[in-house]
A and B are shown apart, each in its own frame.
Chain A
Amino acid sequence: MFLALVLLAMIPSLASAAETQAPQIQEVVLENGLKVLLLENHKSPVVTFQVWYRVGSRNELDGKSGLSHFLEHMMFKGTRKVAPEEYSRIIARNGGRSNAFTTTDMTVYFATMSREKIGIAVELEADRMVNALLDGNSFEAEKKVVMEERRLRTEDNPTSALAEVTSAVAYLVHPYRRPVIGWMSDIERLTREDLRKYYRSYYSPNNAFLVVVGDFSAPDMLAKIRSAFGKIARGPEPPKVTLEERPQNGERRVTLKKEAELPFILMYYHAPTIKSPDSYALDVLMTILSSGRSSRLHQDLVYKKRIATSVSADYDGLAVDPTLISISAQVMPDKEVAEVERALNAHIERVRTEPVTDKELEKARNQAEAAFVFGQDSVFGQAMRIGRFEMAGDWRLLHSYLAGIRKVTAADVLRVAKKYLDPDRRTVGVLIPVKEKAL
């Protein structure tokens, strides 16, 4: 799931809200606790309908990693009314596209269809919120599918495997240390009963919310939603995640030796979520470090020194619990990873000791504003953004995001760089390529 997480991680910095064009989001909470977020957008004749469950790998226990994601797969295996795999086929026959994904914090199901057909998705989602069978004959085959997914995404993907092992070291206590897809031996041992219990605990109207964006009228859509979801009973309060990561004291290092072509270095620093006011300055800092070809890391490591093929500095404040800054680089052929690390360190030290320039600040603001507009180009992208802000705390944060970015000063950037890019609070992962001899 590393790829998916990385993509999601890009959303907040690329796409943020402007008070100038604040979209008119309506919030309604049904009696059973289901929150509904609606945004009309009539630019095209389609609607995206999304169900966001507040459950992901952060809710899993040791030995049961991958349960959220496995359950996501099994949600397509039918209900009392709908045969296995029929969900996808019904949506497709009606000209729609559907899919789902799981992250550390959430499990999301979505369908995008014409405005005439979207009611079908509303009905199907309401049905599987309570009636999923989960245990049909497909359990064993689907477990194998998930294991193949893990092989594809992690086992045979060197940078993804590095991210997995580095996260596992960056966190000692918090469940973010475990991969979303789960450890192979855990996946193998998950049972039907695990799925049933998990489904009963977390899949309920009061632990979910809906995001609907597109070409509909809000009263009509709300009527459809009430009729489909209104009768579902409130579920039990899901257990709270209380595990807290203690502050890290001293750098941790991990290496991964694997068949690969180019070395890769990854640095994780602990960082707060968007609920912290420091979040905005961190976004600006990451933009100055690596957004665009004129950014500091790109200019120096890729362009001038030519020691890295690519660099990136990412921070995703849209998380439920404290998260990580990720600074990474792929090493240019015939260059040393140590040299890349030295260059990264020099830049990190520099932002911790001298303020960024006014021009850099202005550029970062312009980049955030342009990305905000570009991010509204699709209704799916808009829905994702609303959902991610809601998941991280409150969708209303979306409306104050760009204002938050505009307020950031050079002194703020310096302060957060000092505070969070502390070498004693980081974990460094290095991929060391090994060559297997040919048969």
Chain B
Amino acid sequence: MLESRLIPALYPAMAFATVSAVLYGCALAGPPEASSVVYRIRYDAQAADPIAGPGVAVVAGAAPADVSGAERLYRTAIGSPARLPAGYFEAAILAAGPMLDGPDQVVAMPGAWHGRRFEVEVRHTSANLSGKPLLRNVPWRPLVAIPLTGIPAGGVCEVVVRWQPVESLPDGKPLAQPLVSTASFQVE
């Protein structure tokens, strides 16, 4: 079962965020990275081809606005490095994170270019690492869509996504070393 929602607004800094989404009746608000979107992919043991993670892909154009489209695009893109035409300025990062528990939350922090490498940190709570005793619980895997702007012209670029578990969002104490995913893409 798939579920989509944006990251819940947890702190005043999010007030300016303008994004919102509703699926399955979940009303949510936007993260500091105003147009990043977190899709919740509910773990389904019967699913024939669950998304494995973590992983990251770069896709040309804007990220799909629905979870099914984003999941399909991620599956297609994960194994094949993107090639962006010269002068193409719209792209998106699709990053699948670690398996999380029901109450966990995710927020994508603002990313930045360092030369030809774009680095972004995605922070999340972890009931698992915190040892929260959960009863009714269905795990889920986050699939984050992050707009990629300011792409350097011509050549190979790299994207680095760090999944950092923290005690609380957005600035809580780190609970463990981050999981790191990388992907490269070609700008023609």
Q: State yes or no: do A and B come from one complex.
A: no
Which B residues have a C-beta under 8 Å from some C-beta of A?
none
